[in-house]
Structure 1
Amino acid sequence: MTNTVDILILSNGPGELTTWVRPVVQALREQIQNQSFQIRISLILSPCPNATGKEVNIARSYPEIDRVQGAEYFWQFLLLGKTQENWDWYQQGVVLFLGGDQFFTLVISKRLGYRSVIYAEWEARWWRYINRFGVMKSEILETIPQGYQGKVEVIGDLMADVALSASNSRISSDIIIGLLPGSKAAKLAQGVPLTLAIVEYLHQKRPQTRFIIPLAPTLDIQTLANFADPQYNPIIANFGGISAELYLGENPYLKTKNNVIIEINTLFPAYNLLSNCQLCLTTVGANTAELGALAVPMIVLLPTQQLDAMRSWDGIPGILANLPGIGSIFAKIINSLVLKTGKFFAWPNIWAKQEIVPELVGKLQPENIGNLVLNYLDHPEQLETMRQRLQQVRGKPGAAQKLAHLIIQESLEQIKS
């Protein structure tokens, strides 16, 4: 019997890596110090429509993880059980689901003969065959037959641990507007020009305001700057032609043609910075969940000047929208249909099933958005109300520690067997 247990984590996109995987592996390494066995943590990524290609590098930057395999080798592993580097496996192990398809957990745990644990944010599936579930809310427990509820523990929201790490970080008295235009080219092409135009408008009205972009871990500074350059990004013309130049140094920034400075923050995660923002302007995606967990007021922007820009749908729509050559046509059709449904795109609104944060969809005009921002700044009580509603809808912190405890329990069960 070996005193080492394999913990195999299945995940997929950048949002899951930063807000789920990271706190869980930290909690695992912390708790294992008090155990009589050791763990080896491996991460295998599955394909994700929101992937940027930098997920492997992000995962390898986490010192808690021992081995990482990219999504391009996933199907080979799922179907044949072979990793690209022919990893060895200990006799004892646990497969942990932290993103992707829960069915993968079932298949892989059965093949390896490991115990299985699923973190279920919205729905717990395959409860007949999975060993344990850590679920976000008690409502999920109620959807599971009574005979299987013993497998389930309500642990809270992994995203809420983000808020815990930044709970006492609001120290700045400056008026700070956070800008999150996206991390992928399709979003940046519209998000950066729109953001620049809004910033110029706000600066005219409130010149003392600071503007900061917390750089996504999957994005480099030069790529961000390219989308502020009209020679690289012709969509700038659709938003008033506002461009900006990049200035590098210890504290890099973008400067618009009218000398408005947008600071670029390269520290990650930027939770302390975000917690000091009065308001954030953000595109759709995992960033709305992070801001929601931090209870940071936000305005969510979904410009449709370039209707084929959004291609991150799940399932068949995502596949069609990303097909080479003809994907743009499918994206326009799909997005046009989806936008007419009136569905919510921001995670806090999805959680609450009502609009907590404004979602602006359509051919957005910088002046209109700027006036909305100014109205919020002139009425801080409205921002406080939004902050309180975000606090109410998010889960309680501590989920990572509870999930790590579940994994260690399953590891001990595996050792005993």
Structure 2
Amino acid sequence: MNCPIDILILSNGPGELSTWVQPVVKELRRQLTIARALLRISIILSPCANASGQEVAIAQRFPEVDRVQGAEHFFPFLLFGKTHANWDWRSRGVVLFLGGDQFFPIVIAKRLGYRTVIYAEWEARWHAWGDRFGVMNAEILNRVAPRYAHKFSVVGDLMAEAGVESGRVEEWRSGGGEEDGGGKGDGGAGEMMRGWDDESDVFTPPSPHHPVPPSSPLIGLLPGSKPMKLILGVPLTLAIAEHIYMARSDVQFVIPVAPTLTVKDLAAYADPTQNPIIQRLGWVGGELVLPAEQLPFLKTPAGVKVSLWTGFPAYDLLSRCCLCLTTIGANTAELGALGVPMIVLLPTQQLDIMRAWDGIPGLLVNLPGIGALLARGINWLALRRRGLLAWPNIWAKREIVPELVGALQPAEVAKRAIAYLAHPEQLQTISNELRAVRGQPGAAQKLVQLVCEELEIMN
């Protein structure tokens, strides 16, 4: 392939960018080994109810990507074919769908004269007009008419690529490492001791991209990335951390800060003067501390220090956690793909702040005046009829990791976490089950192969 090529990726939310787009753009550059000037990768974002407003910034961090357009400019491009920056388009290319509405790539590819490759996680649509479909599992094929079956390939679960992106070291968690058992290399005891200040108890790995496992148990706190989750999630997880620390003072805590947030943004939800939920529910806040040569951290009233990690993606860090306390969302899929045990938390103390619904419910709960009341009603009904919430449980169709839903009390959640710490064999069992259901890696490689095949058709 010596002709200039455009790959246009359509995506939408932060979860799709981190779990789908990121491994795929890496694989595109790996497989299409032509000069950078000949292969241009563009990302155009469509509106998403779960968007944070920072999706462009996230996509621009991917070194493999050449151009990014935000969701606010999507519909003029869809309707009229003009990007905000008036991008040019090459004669050969593929529109690769990685999030949004599957109708979008059909329209856009038709206008550009490109082929389409659509990744379908649960359902594939527009079989007659799409060129190729890479699907997550064979169950989707059962709903495909035989005359379109040749367009479909099972590529696997892109979310399982998180385990590959972490790059390493499942060995250290299961006792592996250097053959001499210690002192040298990435998995040795000498490396394991680095990054932890014995006096300050603050986690300071040598680099954002190559953290090292701690000598003490490390618990990850994932309170979310959007205000509706952070308002409850930050003070709840800090309060849980205090209770755990009172029973296990050797435990360390870290929050992988979402790429859509700064540490100051996150700290605002731990500030009782800015988050009234803290005093209303009797939970705890935290003071932001910004040391000169260590990671920033939140310090709770009881003196517990929770490090704030801003490296993205945080797969290496998360894989070194013996347990994570997390809200629902794509993060449960990433933890599942990494084989990291978790307790999934959905506090319901403030049902009116849960307003991230799609479609008509999403419009109703955000109406001025009556939106809060409608949100409480809709969320109450949804929780009564809820099924499994965490992605690994959905994949397995049973509860592998505990899902705690309701008016959660920090002390009770902490008891569950402390019990796990006292019985590491239970954590190992959960980790093994997560690995068993996460699917085999390789979906990004297979999906990119479909892209390459479609480019060959255009020759």
Q: Which has the higher contact order (CA 8 A, sep 6+)?
A: 1
2:224 to 161, 173, 182: 182
1:305 to 339, 349, 359: 349
Partner residue in 2 for 1:85? 85
In 2, the alpha carbon distance for the partners of 1:290 and 1:184 equals 17
The one-letter code matched in structure 2 to 1:402 is K
Change beyond 3 A, Cα 1:82–1:266: same
Percent of residue pairs identical: 59
2:350 is the alignment partner of 1:350: no
The one-letter code matched in structure 1 to 2:245 is H
2:401 is the alignment partner of 1:360: no
- Conservation of the 8 A alpha-carbon contact between 1:238 and 1:305: no
The one-letter code matched in structure 1 to 2:317 is L
In 2, the alpha carbon distance for the partners of 1:284 and 1:232 equals 24
Partner residue in 1 for 2:61? 61
In 2, the alpha carbon distance for the partners of 1:390 and 1:241 equals 31
Partner residue in 1 for 2:443? 399
- Conservation of the 8 A alpha-carbon contact between 1:193 and 1:239: no
SS at match of 2:328: coil
Matches within 5 A, 1:319-398: 319-398=363-442
Matches within 5 A, 1:239-278: 239-249=281-291, 250-278=294-322
- Conservation of the 8 A alpha-carbon contact between 1:12 and 1:71: yes
Partner residue in 1 for 2:238? 196
- Conservation of the 8 A alpha-carbon contact between 1:14 and 1:51: yes
Deviation, 1:381, is 2.1
Deviation, 1:344, is 1.9
Once the two structures are superposed, residues 348-384 of structure 1 have per-residue CA deviations (whole angstroms, 9 ceiling, x without a partner) of 1222222111111111000110111111112222212
Partner residue in 2 for 1:281? 325
Deviation, 1:323, is 3.9
Q: How many residues align?
A: 415
Partner residue in 1 for 2:264? 222
Once the two structures are superposed, residues 292-337 of structure 1 have per-residue CA deviations (whole angstroms, 9 ceiling, x without a partner) of 1111111111111111222222332223333455433332222111
In 2, the alpha carbon distance for the partners of 1:285 and 1:266 equals 19
- Conservation of the 8 A alpha-carbon contact between 1:3 and 1:36: no
- TM (norm. structure 2) is 0.87
In 2, the alpha carbon distance for the partners of 1:402 and 1:367 equals 46
Once the two structures are superposed, residues 36-94 of structure 1 have per-residue CA deviations (whole angstroms, 9 ceiling, x without a partner) of 99321111111111111000011111121111111111111112222111222122221
The one-letter code matched in structure 2 to 1:386 is I
Deviation, 1:263, is 0.9
The one-letter code matched in structure 2 to 1:112 is L
Deviation, 1:387, is 1.2
In 1, the alpha carbon distance for the partners of 2:43 and 2:248 equals 47
Change beyond 3 A, Cα 1:234–1:389: same
2:335 to 280, 283, 291: 291
The one-letter code matched in structure 1 to 2:124 is A
2:359 is the alignment partner of 1:315: yes
Deviation, 1:168, is 2.8
RMSD: 1.8
2:40 is the alignment partner of 1:40: yes
In 1, the alpha carbon distance for the partners of 2:369 and 2:400 equals 38
In 1, the alpha carbon distance for the partners of 2:426 and 2:34 equals 47
SS at match of 2:140: helix
Change beyond 3 A, Cα 1:220–1:37: closer
- Conservation of the 8 A alpha-carbon contact between 1:137 and 1:155: yes
In the alignment, structure 1 segments of 5+ residues that lack a partner are none
Change beyond 3 A, Cα 1:305–1:286: same
In 2, the alpha carbon distance for the partners of 1:327 and 1:107 equals 35
Higher mean C-alpha displacement, 94-103 vs 106-115: 106-115
- Conservation of the 8 A alpha-carbon contact between 2:348 and 2:405: yes
Partner residue in 2 for 1:120? 120
Deviation, 1:35, is 8.5
- Conservation of the 8 A alpha-carbon contact between 1:239 and 1:365: no
Once the two structures are superposed, residues 189-217 of structure 1 have per-residue CA deviations (whole angstroms, 9 ceiling, x without a partner) of 00011111101111110011001101111
Higher mean C-alpha displacement, 207-216 vs 72-81: 72-81
SS at match of 1:62: coil
Partner residue in 2 for 1:9? 9
- Conservation of the 8 A alpha-carbon contact between 2:8 and 2:94: yes
SS at match of 1:84: coil
Deviation, 1:123, is 1.2
The one-letter code matched in structure 2 to 1:263 is S
- Conservation of the 8 A alpha-carbon contact between 1:194 and 1:239: no
2:276 is the alignment partner of 1:234: yes
- Conservation of the 8 A alpha-carbon contact between 1:308 and 1:328: yes
In 2, the alpha carbon distance for the partners of 1:182 and 1:4 equals 40
Deviation, 1:2, is 8.4
- Conservation of the 8 A alpha-carbon contact between 2:135 and 2:152: yes
- Conservation of the 8 A alpha-carbon contact between 2:23 and 2:165: no
In 2, the alpha carbon distance for the partners of 1:36 and 1:285 equals 35
In 2, the alpha carbon distance for the partners of 1:99 and 1:325 equals 32
- Conservation of the 8 A alpha-carbon contact between 2:2 and 2:34: no
In 1, the alpha carbon distance for the partners of 2:166 and 2:94 equals 31
1:213 to 255, 258, 283: 255
Deviation, 1:136, is 1.3
SS at match of 1:329: helix
- Conservation of the 8 A alpha-carbon contact between 1:282 and 1:288: yes
In 2, the alpha carbon distance for the partners of 1:142 and 1:120 equals 14
The one-letter code matched in structure 2 to 1:221 is V
In 1, the alpha carbon distance for the partners of 2:393 and 2:313 equals 23
Change beyond 3 A, Cα 1:322–1:411: farther
In 2, the alpha carbon distance for the partners of 1:96 and 1:244 equals 43
Deviation, 1:269, is 1.0
In 2, the alpha carbon distance for the partners of 1:79 and 1:36 equals 30
